[in-house]
Chain A
Amino acid sequence: MVNLGELRNTAMQKISEMRAELPVKAAEMLDQRIRAITAGLSANELRAITRGESPTEKPNPRYKLQTKSFLFHLRPRYYQRASTWFSHTFRLGWLSVFTFFVETFTGIILMVFYTPIPTQAYADILNIMANVPFGRFMRDLHRLGAEMMVISVFLHMVRVYFTGSYKGERSFTWLTGVVLLLLTLLLSFSGYLLPWDQLAYWAVTIGTSMAEAMPVIGTQVNLLLRGAPDIGAGGLLRFYLLHVLFVPLIAILVISIHYYKVSREHSISLPASVEEGEMDPAEKKKALERVDFIPDLITHEIFLTSLVTFIMVLFVLFIPIAPLETHANYNATPLDTEAPWYFLWVQGMLKLGDKTLMGVILPGAIFTLLAAIPYIDRNPSRLARNRKLEITLGILFIALLGVLSYFGTPKALIEQPPATRIVQDMIPQEGEGEVRTLPFSQLKVGRYTTDMDFATVNGTPGLKQVMVDLQQKIKQKADKLPGAKGTVEIADVQVDGSGQTELKQVIMRIAWTDPQRGDQVYEKVIFLHRDAAHTAK
């Protein structure tokens, strides 16, 4: 006979036992799941990490990650404290990686709205800016990231050079670094063409024409890059594929190699003062103590990520930096062609000599020299006071780059016909200039000359300023423009539905008498629309 009452009692007892166990069991299961995902960290351990507490188990489960988890095994287990001093690395290697990620993310979003076809590309960029929510934002971020990446990679190299961290076993790391510098420049430059505006088209035309100056294979390389004698549909597609596929893939590979060398093999160098200098033993001990990846370094990286993200996002909110000039025009070489700033030094060299020497051989020699630095520099010491020559040379080299870049700016070392220069300064082909940025209401219909009484335009101070400036500029070049007279003519062209003018024609004209060629005139006609929002930049 079964005692029903007893059975019930046992059942109740079991149930309440199970109830009591349930949270424990659940917690255990949860813990297992968490350990499975984190390659061995318990929930408690995670909590300890975020609070900066010491490990909850022994052996330190945090180290296990570096052998078991794919992503973490790429990372170091620890660095010595002095290696992580901000003043030693300035986090520039990190910043290079970070900006590379920013570029990948924003770039993929931009790809969604972009077609690499000459008849479509420019319109797509306009569309990104005027129709795609966050479109302009993504474009600006992508641009900002690209500029930052070039800067940080360059500065990273500079810091490695000045801290002497390329020596000895790290010489291969330096070599991969030089490859990365080239890849970074190539990434940035290949992206330059994609908006298919005048800026892009002519910068890349000049860039690839340097390839043409290579001895023997030049023509072939140029053809390979451009896809035809001139950049067209083929060239655009090639640069697009270089930019979104080929170079990034190679860059990911080389960054991985570079970084693996640092994180798993040689670690970040110690500051020379710690490694070689005399230091108080207690201080030295502290400088050499371990800083674990988890939690210290990883927290720091996440912090840096949020900091730089915030700065970048804020920056583009206020300063939209991605430029867009007018549509690429194969027939109109711009008066002022400008290489991207990081190639101005090459453009500067090109102005000083012949294309093969200055555009190919010397830059090639410079990069070869860079790559060879660890093998040329046999000085074993990394202390600044033992490296006076290296440091002086480094500073001189950077100064030289600066000077060459200045030569590379459009106006340096190039003399344009004076009248053309004046009009180009006041009404540049690209960008705004002081006539376009006049408030529309200042464009009073009429004909104004530099020899008239400016009091008649007192009512329109902006226009008066234009006339004063024009007069001034002509006066400055009086020796080259004898008897010159400047004229500005403004006329109505179209009116809107309510009868207000919305489009005006502006003509700027300089007439002078050349001693040899007689009467000369240079004039430029533009049209200005009320809603075009030309604003000074």
Chain B
Amino acid sequence: MIRLQITLGLVLILAASTVVLIIGVRDIATDHLTRVQDEQHARSVEVGADLFYINCSRCHGEDGKGTAGLCPPLNDRTFFESRLKDIGYAGTLRAYVNSVISSGRPVSTRPQLYAGQMPTWSNVYGGPLRPDQIDNLTDFILNWQATAMSGAQPAKPEPEKAASPEDLGKQVFQRAACIACHAIGNNGGAVGPNLTKVADDAQKFIADPNYKGQAKTPQDFIRESIMNPNAFVVPGFQPNIMPQNFGQTLKPNEIDGLVAYLSTLK
């Protein structure tokens, strides 16, 4: 019995050592751990994308192309290639992105290009997000580097199915960051007028004696407000806040879509 147990025990110890050896070889001599790192990075990007969608897309756009006149694009070649130099930052791009998100931007560094402000995000400085979430966001933003386009507003691939003009308009409303300034329902910013009943409002403004524009129908009024926002300045708001160049940056069908969509809001 004793000799049997000793022999078997030795065999088992050898077998266990072999398993340990296998794990050691896997961890040290193969790319196993690199793959685990890639997985962790991928999951971090997933979490970052979610956080971006919830917190950042209303200013920086769902696809990171920014809001003209307000918020810079983050999905942009110059951002990845020359932003650090332009601004004289000594650290890495990762450190820059991480620290900008953490502390926010109380004052724009380029007021003539992007006049907005960015709130503080890290809870270390009083914002709503934890440092690990800032890391996730950083991973997500840096993940644009491979394909960042140069120049502004590259065309977004068309959605696969032909959407109705209203649907397209609804998408563009999000994507062109109208929502950063305008609310529909409770959702959106308050820089510009609430558009929940914009079609009705348009009817009223056309009838307003102060109205000097060309529009006869709510549709035309909405189109005019997008192409030439100063044609009529909604009472209680300032001119020149709404970007003046949507006529150039949006495609004709996108503007048609916007008009079709907004006209349904009564």
Cα-based distance from A516 to B9 in the complex (angstroms): 71
Interface of B is mostly: helix
Contact at A496–B161, with CB atoms within 8 Å?
no
Contact at A527–B161, with CB atoms within 8 Å?
no
Determine, out of B11-19, B87-95, B223-231, B234-242, the stretch whose residues face the partner at the interface.
B11-19
Contact with A along B170-209 (1 / 0, CB 8 A): 0000000000000000000000000000000000000000
Contact with B along A304-326 (1 / 0, CB 8 A): 01110110011001000000001
Name which residue of chain A comes closest to B128, CB basis: A331
Contact at A133–B33, with CB atoms within 8 Å?
yes
Q: Is A253 an interface residue (CB 8 A)?
A: no
Contact at B50–A306, with CB atoms within 8 Å?
no
Contact at B40–A526, with CB atoms within 8 Å?
no
Contact with B along A501-537 (1 / 0, CB 8 A): 0110100000000000000000001111111110000
Contact at B12–A307, with CB atoms within 8 Å?
yes
Name which residue of chain A comes closest to B124, CB basis: A119
Cα-based distance from A499 to B133 in the complex (angstroms): 27
Contact at B45–A130, with CB atoms within 8 Å?
no
By a CB distance below 8 angstroms, the chain B residues around A313 are 16, 19-20
Q: How far is the CB of B102 from chain A (nearest CB, A)?
A: 12
How many chain A residues have a CB neighbour from B under 8 Å?
A: 55
Q: How far is the CB of B48 from chain A (nearest CB, A)?
A: 8
Name which residue of chain B comes closest to A497, CB basis: B146
Contact at B132–A129, with CB atoms within 8 Å?
no
Given contacts A137-B23, A494-B147, whether A309 and B1 have CB atoms under 8 Å apart is no
Q: How far is the CB of A440 from chain B (nearest CB, A)?
A: 10
Q: How far is the CB of A304 from chain B (nearest CB, A)?
A: 9
Cα-based distance from A306 to B4 in the complex (angstroms): 13
Q: How far is the CB of A49 from chain B (nearest CB, A)?
A: 8
By a CB distance below 8 angstroms, the chain A residues around B130 are 119, 327, 329
By a CB distance below 8 angstroms, the chain A residues around B22 are 317
Q: Is B41 an interface residue (CB 8 A)?
A: yes
Cα-based distance from A529 to B45 in the complex (angstroms): 7
Q: Is A57 an interface residue (CB 8 A)?
A: no
Q: Is A353 an interface residue (CB 8 A)?
A: no
Q: How far is the CB of B60 from chain A (nearest CB, A)?
A: 13
Contact at B9–A532, with CB atoms within 8 Å?
no
Cα-based distance from A137 to B63 in the complex (angstroms): 40
Contact at A446–B50, with CB atoms within 8 Å?
no
Cα-based distance from A246 to B144 in the complex (angstroms): 48
Name which residue of chain A comes closest to B27, CB basis: A133
Contact residues, B17-57 vs A (CB, 8 A): 19-20, 22-24, 27-28, 33, 36-43, 45-47, 49-50, 53
Q: Is A52 an interface residue (CB 8 A)?
A: yes
Q: Is A445 an interface residue (CB 8 A)?
A: yes
Q: Is B8 an interface residue (CB 8 A)?
A: yes
Contact at B16–A529, with CB atoms within 8 Å?
no
Given contacts A300-B5, A309-B12, whether A532 and B146 have CB atoms under 8 Å apart is no
Contact at A310–B39, with CB atoms within 8 Å?
no
Q: Is B164 an interface residue (CB 8 A)?
A: no
Cα-based distance from A302 to B24 in the complex (angstroms): 25
Contact at B144–A494, with CB atoms within 8 Å?
yes
Contact at A526–B46, with CB atoms within 8 Å?
yes
Q: Is B212 an interface residue (CB 8 A)?
A: no
Name which residue of chain B comes closest to A315, CB basis: B19
Given contacts A130-B33, A131-B33, A494-B147, whether A530 and B42 have CB atoms under 8 Å apart is yes
A-B contact pairs, 26 of them (CB 8 A): A126-B40, A129-B36, A130-B36, A133-B28, A136-B36, A295-B2, A299-B5, A302-B6, A306-B8, A306-B10, A307-B8, A310-B19, A317-B23, A447-B161, A494-B49, A494-B143, A496-B147, A505-B49, A505-B53, A525-B53, A529-B42, A530-B42, A531-B39, A531-B41, A532-B43, A532-B46
